[in-house]
Amino acid sequence: MQWVKVLGGLVGAAALLGLGIILGHFAVPKGADAPSSSVFQDLDLEILETVMKQLDASKIRENLRELSKEPHLASSPRDEALVQLLLQRWRDPASGLDSAEAPKYEVLLSFPSREQPNRVTVVGPTGTVLFACRQSEQDLTGEQGGPDVVPPYAAYAPPGTPQGLLVYANRGTEEDFMTLRAQGIRLEGTIALTRYGGTGRGAKAINAAKHGVAGVLVYTDPADINDGQSSASETFPNSWRLPPSGVERGSYYEYFGDPLTPYLPANPSSFRLDPAAVSGFPPIPTQPIGFEDAKILLCNLQGTVAPAAWQGALGCDYRLGPGFRLNGDFPTDSQVNVSVHNRLELRNSSNVLGIIRGAVEPDRYVLYGNHRDSWVHGAVDPSSGTAVLLELSRVLGTLLKKGTWRPRRSIVFASWGAEEFGLIGSTEFTEEFFSKLQERTVAYINVDISVFANATLRAQGTPPVQSVIFSAAKQIRAPGSEDLSIYDNWIRYFNRSSPAYGLVPSLGSLGAGSDYAPFIHFLGISSMDIAYTYDRSKTSARIYPTYHTAFDTFGYVDKFVDPGFGSHQAVARTAGSVLLRLSDSLFLPLNVSDYGENLRSFLQAAQQNLEVLLEQHSISLGPLVTAVEKFERAATALVQHVSELRKDTLDPLQVRMLNDQLMLLERTFLNPRAFPEERYYSHVLWAPRTGSVATFPGLANACSRAMNTSPGSEAWAEVRRQLSILVVALEGAAATLRPVADL
């Protein structure tokens, strides 16, 4: 095993370590097991190399086998057994952490009824059931069965047994339903068959209900997930593709966090909303089905042929309905019955938190997390991430217990509960400790699915984490290659032209797809998500094919996703290197000037796409231009200042002050009053954006809403307000980066 050695970064570590020893009399003994620490303790490249070497692919494979050997739906007995497994690992005397706890929240989950399974049937004119969709997936390899496999369902969809004529509604967007209406199709009382993708799960039912639709079915089209392939011979277990009976489960709740306790931790005594008053649940019964069943329904529809963009790969012309065609499998006036018997239940869900106390700055936290709960066996989602988490904590824990190493800052490992129901464990955690976390957290590293596929690294994050991910990726060998670094491989798949650096790998932005969401959007903590992923020239699959199905098993990963576990190891090394750099570097490796490129590109998009419109309403982008320039100047000056510091005259408080500026920059973009209707979204740069202009979300969204209103409207006032909020945030960010005694 080779580790590409490219020494980089700001600091001459050897020189500083020397200084650290000289100044060692400042150290406060932290216990017999700790090496002596110094206020100048810096990243130790030897330790980093040791960690990289010790991260073991076969151990990750063993972790994954154990983690995914049983289904571990949130709050199930097996989920709780994994809590114990994590606690045991993190409390291990030889390889554990300083401490580990498993606090519980009492959260609202949704489950199908065991007694009354959900059922989708075709009912003939006389009431006879002519056809019934499968109620569970086929057990193809002996890995997909058993009593703990939860049947496919749409979590949080309400119970009910609507029955009506079937229509095909493509992806269930508002536009899709308008298209059906424009065709003269009466939607009231119908059952809408939709396919995954294009919009959030819950949105399909919300859009449908607005048009009077009585029930919604959702399936995964082979065109979207299998590059068109659908036969048994082309799919799992003969390839990584989704077999015909596979059904994507998922949460259909529109927001995140425990639905009953927005902004409050779901402790037993916490105030809870009346479930009937919760907004964001699907309003009508909804049920997911496999494409095998969808084909029977869809290929029997009558009516106009659907638009080309609505067609899929089921091997027939998709028609709109309503109702079935003449000479098909069913009488034309047969209806579809959707019987949903889901129940809401208050359940205990645990997070597991494991801590390595920092030697020098224990009040600075680097968080590293992933969720633990799965829909079924969840080998890829989320156990591929948890397998990496456990290997990383084993390696670090071993160094810790041996007394070889203790990080400068505290490291907090987290195994979140109930993510699949809406990032619940992580959100409750941020709600419980919001002050402390905001004040002290350096960054949050999320590794959920660690390997979607084994082609390349994929990273999402806010600009300050770009540089540390790049540093890590440059020093690690790409799996399956002798001389290519992860970085060099990555840049071949995802890249962009950076004004400052030329061609670099492109970092994705953070939505709300995993547990980083409450950290970045609610608390303004610099966050990232790291994984290995597809070669997009080889597949256009919406996501890995067995996502949220019973086919996401250990055997699937071992055979198809990452044989040999080299990609898992690559992710463990990359995320581990990022973690060590953040926890151990004397100066935080957060490059604040990289935010400048992002602001500049948002500004340019606004200038190119919105400026003419804004000028028509006498709104100037001038103050925004000035604010971006101020930010750029302050960020560049700060980075320059840090790079010029004479290492031999450093003052430990000076280092801390500069690090505070770097750490807290992300917080300056937070304004809890910016988007009062967007629950948890307070980050003025990364809140959800509608429309196609890649610019500041508040401005973009307000402009979309104002566009067709009169000049004096409330909507135009909101455009002005959003622009001011943004300017104040950017000016405040610049102020945070300027020399600290300037006001």
Residues 183-212 that bind a copy of itself (CB under 8 A): none
* Eight-class DSSP state of 103: -
- Mark the segment that binds a copy of itself (CB under 8 A) among 143-151, 243-251, 570-578, 722-730: 722-730
314-353 residues near a copy of itself, rule: CB under 8 A? 353
With residues binned 3-state (H G I as helix, E B as strand, rest as coil), the percentages for the chain, rounded to 5, are 40, 15, 45
**What token pair was written down for 252?**
């259909």
Start-to-end C-alpha separation, the chain: 52
Q: Which of 3, 434, 493, 494 binds a copy of itself (CB under 8 A)?
A: 434
> Which residue, 435 or 497, is less far from a copy of itself as judged by CB?
435
652 interacts with a copy of itself by CB under 8 A: yes
Shortest Cβ 720–a copy of itself spacing (Å): 4
Among residues 653, 677, 692, 708, the one that binds a copy of itself under rule CB under 8 A: 653
- What tokens were used for 221? 């089209």
Of residues 24 through 83, those in contact with a copy of itself by CB under 8 A are 26-28, 39
- For a copy of itself, the closer of residues 29 and 142 by Cβ is 29
d(CA 272, CA 255): 16
Query: Is residue 458 a contact partner of residue 470, using CB atoms and an 8 Å limit?
Result: no
For residue 564, the one-letter residue type is: G
d(CA 600, CA 625): 9
The residue among 166 and 412 lying less far from a copy of itself, judged by its C-beta, is 412
Of 649, 692, 708, 710, the one binding a copy of itself by CB under 8 A: 649
Which of 62, 329, 629, 660 lies at the binding interface for a copy of itself (CB under 8 A)?
660
Assess 176 for contact with a copy of itself (CB under 8 A): no
Q: How far apart are CA 561 and CA 554, in angstroms?
A: 10
Pick the piece of the chain touching a copy of itself (CB under 8 A) from 123-131, 291-299, 597-605, 665-673: 665-673
Contact status: 264 vs a copy of itself (CB under 8 A):
yes
Amino acid sitting at position 483: D
Burial (CB count within 10 angstroms: exposed 0-12, middle 13-18, buried 19+), residue 615: exposed
Region 610-629 residues binding a copy of itself, contact defined as CB under 8 A: 620, 622-623
Task: State the catalytic residue, choosing from 248, 292, 361, 419.
Answer: 419
**CB 258, min distance to a copy of itself, A:** 12
With 0-12 / 13-18 / 19 or more C-beta atoms within 10 angstroms meaning exposed / middle / buried, residue 142 is exposed
Q: How many CA atoms lie within 13 A of 269 on its CB side?
A: 1
Residue positions counted in the chain: 743
Name the one range near a copy of itself by CB under 8 A: 176-184, 204-212, 358-366, 498-506.
358-366
Per CB under 8 A, 357 contacts a copy of itself:
yes
Distances (CA, A) of 299 to 130, 246, 247, 463, 735: 15, 18, 18, 47, 62
Bond before 499 cis per omega within 30 degrees: no
Q: How many CA atoms lie within 13 A of 204 on its CB side?
A: 30
Q: How far is the CB of 741 from a copy of itself (least distance, A)?
A: 4
Rule CB under 8 A: choose which of 214, 360, 387, 469 binds a copy of itself.
360
Nearest to 165 by CA among 302, 326, 294: 302
Which residue among 172, 323, 358, 378 contacts a copy of itself (CB under 8 A)? 358
Of the candidate spans 160-168, 380-388, 425-433, 556-564, the one that interacts with a copy of itself by CB under 8 A turns out to be 425-433
Tell me the torsion sign for CA atoms 475, 476, 481, 486: negative
Per CB under 8 A, 263 contacts a copy of itself? yes
Of 151 and 425, which has the nearer Cβ to a copy of itself? Answer: 425
Determine whether 600 is exposed, middle or buried from the number of CB atoms within 10 Å of its CB (0-12, 13-18, 19+). middle
- Whole-angstrom distance, CA of residue 562 vs CA of residue 429: 32
Q: Which is nearer to a copy of itself, 600 or 656 (CB)?
A: 656
Which is nearest to 391 in space by CA: 582, 570, 581, 585?
A: 570
Q: In the range 272-301, which residues lie near a copy of itself by CB under 8 A?
A: 273-274
Give the Cα separation of 159 and 389 in Å (integer): 38
- Residue 605 Cβ vs a copy of itself, minimum distance, rounded to whole Å: 20
Among 363, 535, 611, 615, binds a copy of itself (CB under 8 A): 363
Is 355 within 8 Å of 98 (Cβ atoms)?
Answer: yes
By the rule CB under 8 A, 5 interacts with a copy of itself: no
**How many residues form the binding site for a copy of itself (CB under 8 A)?**
71
Cβ 479 to a copy of itself, closest distance in Å?
34
Kindly identify the residues of this chain, within the stretch 96-125, that bind a copy of itself according to CB under 8 A. Answer: 98, 101
Q: Does 20 bind a copy of itself (CB under 8 A)?
A: no
How far, rounded to the nearest angstrom, does the alpha carbon of residue 734 sit from its chain's CA centroid? 29
> Closer CB to a copy of itself, residue 27 or residue 605?
27
Q: Please say if 62 is a catalytic residue.
A: no
**3-state class of 730 per DSSP?**
helix
Which of 664, 684, 703, 730 lies at the binding interface for a copy of itself (CB under 8 A)?
664
Q: Which residues are catalytic?
A: 419
